[in-house]
Amino acid sequence: MPIILPITLASAGAAAILNIWLMIRIGMVRRATKIFMGDGGNPALIGRMRAQANFIESAPIVLILAGAVELARPGSIWLLGAMGIYLLGRVAHGVGMDGGKLIKLRMIGTMTTMTVLLGLAIWAVSIAADA
């Protein structure tokens, strides 16, 4: 039986794993600082919490757009690439939110996310306009 939406399915699975990784990173700071509720005003905890929250803000719409595009244009290597770039960008953003020498990864992740989101949106609208 063929898999429906294999790119979206794999991307959603990878996104779930990425979300767990972001949650673990929050837990590591919580344990180290003994802040078990809220952010306690701790910059490291705030940064990691925002990294996960920012991921949760973008992931649903990216996955919905990917699924819609894949339904209309199955088997696209471009969609696979876009989703890979999106997920790598979210990893970069998460690491960059720790600051320090890796702070530039935050902007790279942000710009990657915005570019993929815009690209998927334009692609979806163009598919709909052709129908």
pLDDT in tens, the chain (131 residues): 889 999 999 999 999 999 999 999 999 999 999 999 999 999 999 999 999 999 999 999 999 999 999 999 999 999 999 999 999 999 999 999 999 999 999 999 999 999 999 999 999 999 999 97
Residues in contact with 34: Cβ distance below 8 Å, sequence separation at least 6, in sequence order: none
Rounded Cα distance between 128 and 21, Å, is 35
For tokens 């996960």, the residue is 52
Helix H or strand E segment including 53: helix 43-72
**Structure tokens, 89:** 């960008």
- Predicted TM-score of the model (pTM): 0.93
